[in-house]
Structure 1
Amino acid sequence: MTSKIRFGIIGTNWITEAFIDAAREAEGFELSAVYSRSAETAGVFAAKHKITNTFTDLAEMAASGVIDAVYIASPNSFHAGHAITCMKHGIHVLCEKPIASNAYELRQMIAAAQENGVLLMEALKSTLLPGFKAIQDNVTKLGEVRRYFANYCQYSSRYDAYKAGTVLNAFNPVFSNGSLMDLGIYCIYPLVALFGKPDVIKATGVMLESGVDGEGSLVLQYPSMDAVIMYSKITHSSLPSEIQGENGSIVIDKISEISKVEIQYRNGTVEDISVQADHKSMYYEAAEFIALIKAGRTESSVNTFENSLTTLEIMDEARKQMGLIYPADTAAFK
């Protein structure tokens, strides 16, 4: 493997801009190609980021020999198809969250990765941040954990457009979007990484006329604890998230981008376990992905297949209970 990992980009939106900005801090990152259905869009994006190669045919980019890996930030409903096309050509895949529309699609993606001997990883940034490692390293100080509470409610500027009569991608079920997929996943994935799969899932949500959820809540039952999750794109909250144990609680400033973390013990003492991030938040997923490729690994030990699959299985069940069904679920929910 060369010292540089040549990346192709799929998706030319704001999240891609943020990824490129952060990934350029990672050793071994090289931007080589961009795919867009529109030649004009690809050209403008390539010029802005000094990308040499542009493509309007995804299979052509995957077979071109100018990339080793792709970062996928297309709409959620395209993730599985885009990833499988690339993996069939031996291309490593870093795919934005949620990695697929449902668990059925992800199982197909995992099979393609294994058949072709390539790396597939979900670009869920929060579990790769130094702050999350601090939580993992210190959670035993809480004694018996009894509750996990995660909150991510962020009013979407796109909701204003929605109320004005314009349904953008964020509120369109065709693209497997909505509040659970966009924000709820940030609450669920760390739970799964820390505590595994729950025994019982109960979900409610507020459905919008477009056919996606505006907000929702989950209660998940484990043998000796429960988890309470709140998420929303139509309200805002400043509440922190928390892991409650018999000895005290870990208080997390923002579950989606963990920075300030402290243990508040029952006796009134407070221990700051925050770890300063030295890079932009998306740097860590890029660095992890590149390191895995260079090491010849085909699965992350943090954002594992199991964690991604369990998270999607939870979201699948929650969506069924809410009546939130996507066109992409036709095969999955038979």
Structure 2
Amino acid sequence: MVNFGVIGTNWITDRFLEAGFMLDDFQLNAVYSRTEQKAKDFARKYDVENTYTDLDQFAQSDMVDAVYIASPTALHAEQAITCMKHGKHVFIEKPMASNEKEVSRMIQTAKEANVLLMEGMKTTFVPNFHVLKDTLDTIAPVRRVVANFCQYSSRYDRYKQGEVLNAFKPELSNGSMMDLGIYTVYPVVSLFGEPARVQAQAYMLESGVDGQGTISATYPNLNADLLFSKITNSEMPSEIQGENGSIVIEKFSDMVGLTLVTKDGTRRSLDVEQKENTMFYEAEHFVKCIKEGQTESNINSHERSLYAMRVLDRARADIGLVFPADQTNE
């Protein structure tokens, strides 16, 4: 069994645990929260006795082999580094951290501690993403990518009423680019590498973060337009365009609804069967890496996390979005 502890008690942690419990070798043993009552309430749902409000005590627990971190982004680096220094493997929700400097520190700590560190970007693990990669040669050469993830946040209604929740706080390194834009950035750098040039535009909220935006990533032979928003919905699919056809993707974050359209107009579905909880595949991979003694994923590698974070850093610089974490890491 791989014994997990979790940091963060929100819905995404529930979703991850649901995926983890589909595995035969996954066990939840501990819950950490900065608030004692939240830790106990969350642990009670899963019949877990071990709760912590002290991060060092949690990281030192011999009940935990690996840690799932789903706290606000601004806390990722400190929490991950503390856990890794005590020999814990770390699975950390996207985006991995606030900026490239933090990611570099985390990777260095993982190497020194000889533990597994992996960013939890589910899209690159689902079966349809592998189908997509295998089909790119059919439409090659690829010339354009349009990746779209615009999802109206229920928290935005409360924001407009004057209540600024975590999703719109710069001190937590949040905003639409970090929360949703990463779903467009990470798969693109996984497929095509780090872009040569990054430009960005955004609609900024008074709280200090972006409500929506666009990143233009330029490669030597293709252009990628990445759209994201927490203040609008979109029914527009994503698309990878090549000189010999295109692949249309209805939902980019889960890689659902893939259609190959060849140059002559012929359409063919590429979808294969996927579990409804698409976090299953990343949880399965993470546990497998631990059991095989691997300290880096060959899918969500350290290099790809650095590529994605550099794109986000360059895009934020272009729109003037600075987090407190950027200044503390200087």
TM bracket (short chain): over 0.9
SS of the equivalent of 2:63 reads coil
Residue identity matched to 1:245? G
The 5 Å alignment of 1:242-281 reads 242-278=239-275, 280-281=277-278
Aligned residues of 1:259 and 1:276 also touching (Cα < 8 A): no
Aligned residues of 1:206 and 1:213 also touching (Cα < 8 A): yes
Residue identity matched to 1:252? I
Tell me how large the CA RMSD over aligned residues is: 0.9
Gaps of at least 5 residues in structure 1 are none
Q: Distance in 2 between matches of 1:199 and 1:8?
A: 39
Residue identity matched to 1:95? I
Tell me how far 1:274 sits from its aligned partner: 1.0
1:32 aligns with 2:29: yes
Q: 1:232 aligns with which of 229, 233, 244?
A: 229
1:109 alignment counterpart: 106
Q: 1:133 aligns with which of 130, 137, 145?
A: 130
Q: Deviations over 1:219-261 (max 9, x none)?
A: 1111111101111001110111110000100111111111221
Aligned residues of 1:92 and 1:120 also touching (Cα < 8 A): yes
Tell me how far 1:131 sits from its aligned partner: 0.9
Task: Report the identity percentage.
Answer: 51
The 5 Å alignment of 1:168-207 reads 168-207=165-204
SS of the equivalent of 1:330 reads helix
Tell me how far 1:279 sits from its aligned partner: 5.2
When structure 1 is superposed on structure 2, of 290-299 and 47-56 the one drifting more is 47-56
Residue identity matched to 1:230? L
Q: 1:66 aligns with which of 38, 63, 68?
A: 63
Q: Distance in 2 between matches of 1:39 and 1:191?
A: 40
Q: Deviations over 1:119-161 (max 9, x none)?
A: 0000001111111111111111012100011001111100000
SS of the equivalent of 2:251 reads coil
2:150 alignment counterpart: 153
Aligned residues of 1:27 and 1:287 also touching (Cα < 8 A): no
Q: Distance in 1 between matches of 2:286 and 2:80?
A: 15
Aligned residues of 1:259 and 1:275 also touching (Cα < 8 A): no
> TM-score with structure 2 length normalisation?
0.98
Q: Distance in 2 between matches of 1:38 and 1:159?
A: 25
1:83 aligns with 2:83: no
When structure 1 is superposed on structure 2, of 17-26 and 276-285 the one drifting more is 276-285
1:95 aligns with 2:82: no
Tell me how far 1:27 sits from its aligned partner: 2.7
Residue identity matched to 1:84? I
Tell me how far 1:331 sits from its aligned partner: 4.2
Residue identity matched to 2:271? S
Residue identity matched to 2:121? L
Number of equivalences:
330
1:208 aligns with 2:208: no
1:48 alignment counterpart: 45
SS of the equivalent of 1:253 reads strand
2:317 alignment counterpart: 320
1:287 aligns with 2:310: no
Q: Distance in 2 between matches of 1:94 and 1:331?
A: 24
Q: Deviations over 1:173-217 (max 9, x none)?
A: 010000000000000101000000111111110110000000001
Q: 1:14 aligns with which of 5, 11, 15?
A: 11
Q: 2:117 aligns with which of 120, 134, 137?
A: 120
> TM-score with structure 1 length normalisation?
0.97
Q: Distance in 2 between matches of 1:233 and 1:56?
A: 31
2:159 alignment counterpart: 162
Tell me how far 1:271 sits from its aligned partner: 2.2
Q: Distance in 2 between matches of 1:252 and 1:126?
A: 12
Residue identity matched to 2:200? A
Q: Distance in 2 between matches of 1:317 and 1:258?
A: 26
